[in-house]
Structure 1
């Protein structure tokens, strides 16, 4: 006996409803999956063993960006560090020591919704906030003394920032080929091209970067695969150097002596400055 169309419609109805519900849930709540912020009260006092200045930037749309600036005597320049997707400056500020110890000032912001930073967060807002702060920083330092360092989530923001400006160099730490490419590994069953509100096309941004690029990636990274950093290098091979940390994962590269050795060499690489100033 042939089953009626009504029967098949009944069979397919609930799976379709459940799938549609999951798509809607992902679309409206994706920020909760991608960002794990630590929020801080406005009067929170940062404490570090080396001198720093706290800055507050008020954006045109009413958003607020909180930042920390660490300075050393006779610095060689400044590292603008764009952090990952978790915690706040309270925890990330400890990475300043990796750069001030090498003779560089260190500057870092909290994205909106993190720490003391406030306001609505979208991809374009993340990028525009970083650009606004970069323009302020470029008044404090000549661009050939500004190094952009993008870590994990911040790698896409850093690549876009470098494509808009002329920093001394761009350092990408554990970067993704694109945010879409990264999320597709886990959400392949969703129509991400229509649902994803953050794309961060590092693969497109990096093509427009003209300064020297250094890509640092652990070959045992289980969160953002080493293959993604390698692909970014391949599409920018004339300007980029791929540095592999053998056995390095996603969150432990500073535990490897090789990381610090390579970082020292990069920050003191005169050839990179020569390439930039030609």
Structure 2
């Protein structure tokens, strides 16, 4: 099997595990979102500590690297909180799709923070994505889901910012194990005070569901890390949108959720924009070789 095909399989695996994480979060039932975030990251912190221990290397960071690491943790935490809230209040596929607008907003963040130019086809993709999001959100407020839709969109925007910080951290040479550890610990500590003042007792089943959500998230992160080790992002990143398909299938069979026609059209526009950018970027790369 070629490295590219291995990368595709890994990113499909990642998409499935992250969709499964959302399912376990919803199956945990009537538990506050911050409590869910805490238990999800409890597993991640344990795994991150093991990863750090295996490195056996001292950590030394420059000032700009520390700032980027902080904002990666902050934006990533906001993204997780918003995503968990959205999963509890929306059709699973809607919550997933709005979370997947992150790469488009990463283009804007990269323009302002990294001074990267935006090509005309990227601007077109951003405009199309905005239109697709409007179809999913349905800003008239029909169905009483406007607020959770906006929260889901905020989660996607935060994820885009976190991705931009990851690019900066890569330039600074910060190890992935340290990034995962700081993000997981930051999320854990952010959620901890809410447990102290508003802890909701959980059944064994609810606890098991949240721990499984943490395991699924860890497997998803492991899979996506390996995916980009096998192949560059420009060749495989578009396959990450398969998470929307997995979420729609799981949502239908487990929760009898069926996205409405406007949402389906929004999915097509956003995914179509991603495919268009993917093909255009590959063509541009091929011309420069």
TM-score normalized by the length of structure 2: 0.23
Structure number, greater radius of gyration:
1
More strand by share: 1
Q: Which has the higher contact order (CA 8 A, sep 6+)?
A: 2
TM-score normalized by the length of structure 1: 0.23
